[in-house]
C-alpha cells in the first residue's frame, strides 16, 4: 500500500513538472510580449491546479485512502511549484537577463566561436543594457524616473534590503570574482 502511494506521488510530481513545461511553451508563445516571470508564475499556478483537479478525477481512487491522496496532491503540488520556480529563476529569467549568457550565445554564432575583445567592446550597448533594467524597474514600481534622477520607491527599498541581506549573509561580495558594477564612492 505505501509503495503504491509513493509510486503515485512520484508519478503525480513528475507529471506536474512535465505538464508545466508543456504549458510553459504554449503560454510563452501566446504572451510573447509579457514579462517572463509573470508568464512563468501564471504557468506554474495553472499547471499545478490543472494537474491537481485532473488527478483528483482520474487517480485519487487508486490511493490507499483519501487522506493519502490529499497529502500526495499537496506535497507533489508544492514540490512542483518549487521545481518549476527554480527552473524559472535559473532558466529563462537568467538567460534573458544575463550578460554572460548573451555573450556566450553571441560567441557561439561567430565563425570558430571566437571574437576579438575590441569587437565585443564596439558592439556592446551599455546604455541599452542599463535602460532595459530601468524600464523593467519602472514597470514594477521599483524606481521612479521623473527626469534626470532615478529614485528608489519604498518597494524598491524593501527589495534592496533583501538583496543586501543576501549579499552579506552569503558573503557574496567577498567571493573571488565578485564585481560591483555600481560601486558606492
pLDDT value for 12: 87
- pLDDT above 60: residue 185: no
> Is 142 within 8 Å of 155 (Cβ atoms)?
yes
* Residue 152: φ, ψ to 5°: -75, 130
pLDDT value for 57: 92
Reported as a single tens digit per residue, the pLDDT across 106-139 is 888 889 988 888 988 888 888 888 888 888 888 8
- pLDDT above 70: residue 146: yes
Q: What is the CA radius of gyration of the chain?
A: 22
CA–CA dist 16, 47 (Å, integer): 7
Measuring CA to CA, how many Å separate 136 from each of 43, 74, 130, 144? 21, 34, 10, 11
Report pTM: 0.56
Mean pLDDT of 69-90: 81
Amino acid at each position: 500500500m505505501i509503495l503504491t502511494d509513493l509510486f503515485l506521488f512520484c508519478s503525480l510530481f513528475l507529471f506536474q513538472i512535465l505538464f508545466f513545461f508543456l504549458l510553459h511553451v504554449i503560454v510563452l508563445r501566446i504572451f510573447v510580449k509579457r514579462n517572463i516571470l509573470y508568464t512563468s508564475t501564471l504557468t506554474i499556478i495553472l499547471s499545478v491546479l490543472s494537474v491537481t483537479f485532473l488527478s483528483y478525477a482520474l487517480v485519487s481512487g487508486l490511493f490507499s485512502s483519501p487522506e493519502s491522496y490529499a497529502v500526495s496532491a499537496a506535497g507533489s503540488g508544492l514540490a512542483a511549484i518549487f521545481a518549476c520556480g527554480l527552473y524559472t529563476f535559473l532558466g529563462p529569467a537568467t538567460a534573458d537577463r544575463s550578460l554572460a549568457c548573451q555573450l556566450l550565445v553571441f560567441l557561439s554564432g561567430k565563425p570558430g566561436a571566437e571574437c576579438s575583445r575590441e569587437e565585443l567592446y564596439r558592439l556592446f550597448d551599455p546604455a541599452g543594457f542599463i535602460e532595459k533594467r530601468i524600464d523593467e524597474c519602472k514597470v514594477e514600481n521599483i524606481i521612479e524616473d521623473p527626469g534626470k534622477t532615478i529614485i528608489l520607491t519604498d518597494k524598491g527599498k524593501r527589495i534592496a534590503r533583501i538583496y543586501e541581506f543576501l549579499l552579506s549573509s552569503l558573503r557574496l561580495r567577498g567571493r573571488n570574482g565578485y564585481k560591483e558594477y555600481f560601486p558606492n564612492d
